[in-house]
Amino acid sequence: MSPAGRPRAFDMEGVLEAAMLLFWEQGYEATSLAQLRAATGLSSASLYGAFDSKEGLFKRAVEHYMNGPGTATGVVEDETVSPREAVAALLHGSIDMQADPSHPVGCLIALSGTMRAPGEEHEGVRAAVAARREADRVRIRACVERGIAAGELDADADVDGVTAMIHSFLLGLSTQLRDGVAATTLHAAVDVVLLNWRRS
Amino acid sequence: MSPAGRPRAFDMEGVLEAAMLLFWEQGYEATSLAQLRAATGLSSASLYGAFDSKEGLFKRAVEHYMNGPGTATGVVEDETVSPREAVAALLHGSIDMQADPSHPVGCLIALSGTMRAPGEEHEGVRAAVAARREADRVRIRACVERGIAAGELDADADVDGVTAMIHSFLLGLSTQLRDGVAATTLHAAVDVVLLNWRRS
DNA sequence: CACTTTGTGGAGCAGTTGGTCCAATATGGG
DNA sequence: CCCATATTGGACCAACTGCTCCACAAAGTG
3-class DSSP state of B28: coil
CA of A94 to C1' of D5 (A): 58
Number of A–B residue contacts, CB under 8 Å? 145
What confidence tier does A199 reach under pLDDT thresholds 50, 70, 90?
A: confident
Look at residue A2 in the predicted model and tell me its pLDDT: 66
Chain A CB contacts of B192 below 8 Å: 158, 161-162, 165, 196
For the ranges A2-11, A62-71, A74-83, B63-72, the lowest mean pLDDT is seen at A2-11
User: Which CA distances in Å does B199 have to B148, B157, B164, B165, B176?
Assistant: 9, 9, 18, 16, 29
What confidence tier does B13 reach under pLDDT thresholds 50, 70, 90?
A: very high
Give the B window 12-71 contacts with A, CB below 8 Å: 25-27, 29-30
Q: Which positions of strand C lie within 7 Å of protein CB atoms?
A: 4-12, 16-22, 25-29
Average pLDDT, chain A: 95
How far is the C-alpha of A46 from the C-alpha of A9, rounded, in Å? 10
How far is the C-alpha of B45 from the C-alpha of B43, rounded, in Å? 5
Mean pLDDT of A111-140: 91
How far is the C-alpha of A163 from the C-alpha of A151, rounded, in Å? 16
For the ranges A1-15, A157-171, B67-81, the lowest mean pLDDT is seen at A1-15
Look at residue B170 in the predicted model and tell me its pLDDT: 98
Nearest CA in chain A to B129: A179
What confidence tier does A193 reach under pLDDT thresholds 50, 70, 90?
A: very high
For residue A140, pLDDT over 80 is answered with: yes
Give the A window 104-163 contacts with B, CB below 8 Å: 104, 106, 110-111, 114-118, 130, 133-134, 137, 158, 160-163
Q: Give per-residue pLDDT as tens, A31-46.
A: 999 999 999 999 999 9
Look at residue B7 in the predicted model and tell me its pLDDT: 83
Q: Give per-residue pLDDT as tens, A83-101.
A: 999 999 999 999 999 999 9
3-class DSSP state of B32: coil
For residue B138, pLDDT over 80 is answered with: yes
CA of B42 to C1' of C27 (A): 20
3-class DSSP state of A90: helix
Look at residue B188 in the predicted model and tell me its pLDDT: 98
For residue A170, pLDDT over 90 is answered with: yes
For residue A196, pLDDT over 90 is answered with: no
What confidence tier does A5 reach under pLDDT thresholds 50, 70, 90?
A: confident
Name the nearest CA neighbour of B41 among B62, B68, B11. Answer: B11
The dihedral over CA atoms of B136, B141, B146, B151, expressed in degrees to the nearest 10, equals 130
For residue A1, pLDDT over 90 is answered with: no
- The angle that helices A12-26 and A33-40 make with each other, rounded to 10 degrees, is 140
The CA-CA-CA angle for residues A140, A143, A145, to 5°, reads 115
Look at residue A4 in the predicted model and tell me its pLDDT: 76
Q: Give per-residue pLDDT as tens, B69-120.
A: 999 999 999 999 999 999 999 999 999 999 999 999 999 999 999 998 766 6
Percent of chain B with pLDDT over 70: 96
Nearest CA in chain A to B168: A172
Percent of chain A with pLDDT over 70: 96
Number of neighbouring beta carbons within 10 Å of residue A43: 10
Instruction: Answer whether B39's CB lies under 8 Å from B22's CB.
Output: yes
Phi and psi dihedrals of A53, rounded to 5? -160, 170
- The DSSP secondary structure of A28-64, one letter per residue, reads TTT--HHHHHHHH---HHHHHHHHSSHHHHHHHHHHH
Look at residue B1 in the predicted model and tell me its pLDDT: 59
How far is the C-alpha of A16 from the C-alpha of A20, rounded, in Å? 6
How far off is chain B from A159, nearest CA to CA, in Å?
A: 9
Chain A CB contacts of B178 below 8 Å: 114, 116
